[in-house]
Amino acid sequence: MNINLKDYGLTERFEQESTMYDDLFIARVTEQHRELYKVVSKCGEIDASVSGKLAYSADSPTAFPAVGDWVMIDRLDGNSGNAIIHHILRRKSVLTRQAAGTEYTGQVIAANIDTIFICMSLNADFNIRRIERYLTITWDSMATPVIVLTKSDLCDDLPQKLDELASVSMGVDVIYCSSENGNGYEAISAYIGQGKTVAFVGSSGVGKSTLINRLMGRDVLATSAIREDDAKGRHTTTYRQLLLLPNGGIVVDTPGMRELQIYTGNLSKTFEDIEEIATRCRFGNCSHGAEPGCAIREAIKNGTLSEKRFESYKKLQREVLYVGLNARQLENEKLNRMFGGKGEMKQFKKHIKDKSNI
Ligand SMILES: Nc1nc2c(ncn2[C@@H]2O[C@H](COP(=O)(O)OP(=O)(O)O)[C@@H](O)[C@H]2O)c(=O)[nH]1
Ligand SMILES: [Mg+2]
């Protein structure tokens, strides 16, 4: 089989980097099932697993290949067993989340994505705080976010919802669509083209798989309403998968994202408005508490900044800050927050000691 990897998104940058590795072949990861991968090379799809060296030197799960990664493999046909993945080429973008559990462990949702469609339904799922969370993660990934509001057929106050959204979506394109009547599909297609990789993220049930099936022109992915009578095996996906679209372009479905915890995030981009207002505070290190000349408090008072948005900013800021800290650092950080810094904490400890000496 002769495959043009440009259809799979191969660009000069990756091609260039691949020339560093003699005797290895470039391929893109299309599926991941725990330790087993599927990759596509110029000779077609083949099963692959990571080399012992790659696994050994990986200091975090994010150092393992993920769907969308460009990798270097040692063979092009599976006759002599699985291909071995020796290297991951430098990611152009990478979407991560915090893995379930308490420890700071990142998980790559997908790599080398150009456009991330953040999907939210216009009925039950609509929540602009959630959009802020998704934007924080997406801006950090280096992919371009586009907000896709789904199920517009089930919404009777669209202008109001769009208005609400506008207050948190500066600099981001917003599309609304319905798979009931096909509205908005053209707008989505405008972001999709040969060699471009897109991914759909959002709560389950918002219609991501339905959208992808429509773009594919056939039911490739299971959608939740028909999952029960799925016995025919017509639908396939419960894992992350990279699919080639019939009219060009590559799409990654991301099932199972019930809740998105932050691993790394970019607040400056998501909350540009707040960071801009904060530059006008009298004090550079203003905590937006009781200091005089606080531009944030002023903006909240005069209605140019919503208090809820500011609360959301602070909440996400704490998350972004905390996730990067180990247990010990976390404890220190909490104390710092409680006492406003090491100096105050020392004083407090001294105070306790003095008291207990009496
Ligand atoms: N009314 C309406 N229902 C939709 C629309 N898009 C998807 N659905 C339904 O919403 C349910 C969940 O869709 P699915 O694609 O599985 O969501 P996913 O979990 O995000 O992949 C299914 O029953 C779909 O038929 C839409 O635009 N309008
Ligand atoms: Mg789905």
DSSP string of 49-80? EE-HHHHHH--SGGGS--TT-EEEES-S-GGG
pLDDT of residue 78: 86
> Which atom from ligand 1 is nearest to the alpha carbon of 203?
20
> Which atom from ligand 1 is nearest to the alpha carbon of 212?
15
Query: Quick check: 247 pLDDT over 60?
Result: yes
Residue 128 is given by DSSP the state H
Mutate to test the pocket of ligand 1, among 200, 210, 253 (most ligand atoms within 8 A of CB): 210
227 CA to middle of ligand 2, Å?
Answer: 10
Residues with CB under 5 A from ligand 2 (ion): 208-209, 255
Domains, the chain, in order of start with CATH, read 5-90 (2.40.50.140), 95-253 (3.40.50.300), 267-319 (1.10.40.50)
Q: With helix as H, strand as E and coil as C, how does 252-297 read?
A: EECCCCCCCCCCCCCHHHHCHHHHHHHCCCCCCCCCCCCCCCCHHH
User: What does the pLDDT average to over 149-159?
Assistant: 95
Query: Quick check: 53 pLDDT over 70?
Result: yes
13: confidence class by pLDDT, cuts 50, 70, 90: very high
Query: Quick check: 156 pLDDT over 60?
Result: yes
User: What does the pLDDT average to over 16-25?
Assistant: 96
CA atoms within 13 A on the CB side of 57: 8
Q: For residues 242 and 31, is the Cβ–Cβ distance under 8 A?
A: yes
User: What does the pLDDT average to over 221-245?
Assistant: 60
313 CA to middle of ligand 2, Å?
Answer: 29
Give the H/E segment covering residue 66: none
DSSP string, 148-170: EEE-GGG-S-HHHHHHHHHTT-T
pLDDT of residue 210: 92
Tokens of 198: 């897109």
Q: Phi-psi category of 9—alpha, beta or left, where left has phi over 0 and alpha has psi -120 to 50?
A: left
Query: Quick check: 347 pLDDT over 90?
Result: no
What is the torsion angle, in degrees rounded to the nearest 10, for the CA atoms of residue 263, residue 269, residue 274 and residue 275?
A: 100
93: confidence class by pLDDT, cuts 50, 70, 90: very high
User: What does the pLDDT average to over 308-329?
Assistant: 80
User: What does the pLDDT average to over 79-97?
Assistant: 94
pLDDT of residue 14: 98
> Which atom from ligand 1 is nearest to the alpha carbon of 202?
20
pLDDT of residue 256: 56
As a whole number of angstroms, the distance between CA 123 and CA 133 comes to 19
Query: Quick check: 339 pLDDT over 60?
Result: no
Tokens of 141: 């990934």
What value, to the nearest 5°, has the Cα angle with vertex 285 and ends 281 and 291?
A: 60
Query: Quick check: 228 pLDDT over 50?
Result: no
User: Pocket residues for ligand 1 (CB within 6 Å)?
Assistant: 150-151, 153-154, 178-180, 204-210, 223-225
Helix, coil or strand: residue 184: coil
169 CA to middle of ligand 1, Å?
Answer: 23
Least confident stretch, 20-29, 58-67, 96-105, 341-350: 341-350
User: Measuring from atom 13 of ligand 1, which residue has the nearest CA?
Assistant: 207
State the maximum Cα–Cα separation within the chain, in Å, rounded to a whole number. 86
User: Measuring from atom 26 of ligand 1, which residue has the nearest CA?
Assistant: 151
Share of the chain above pLDDT 70, in %: 84
pLDDT of residue 204: 85
What is the number of residues in the chain?
Answer: 358
Tell me how far apart the terminal alpha carbons of the chain are, to the nearest angstrom. Answer: 86
Closest ligand (CA of 219): 1
181 CA to middle of ligand 1, Å?
Answer: 13
Least confident stretch, 97-101, 126-130, 345-349: 345-349
pLDDT of residue 229: 41
For the stretch 103-123, pLDDT in tens is 778 889 999 999 999 999 999
pLDDT of residue 99: 80
Closest ligand (CA of 204): 1
pLDDT of residue 103: 72
Question: Locate tokens 């096909």: which residue?
Answer: 182
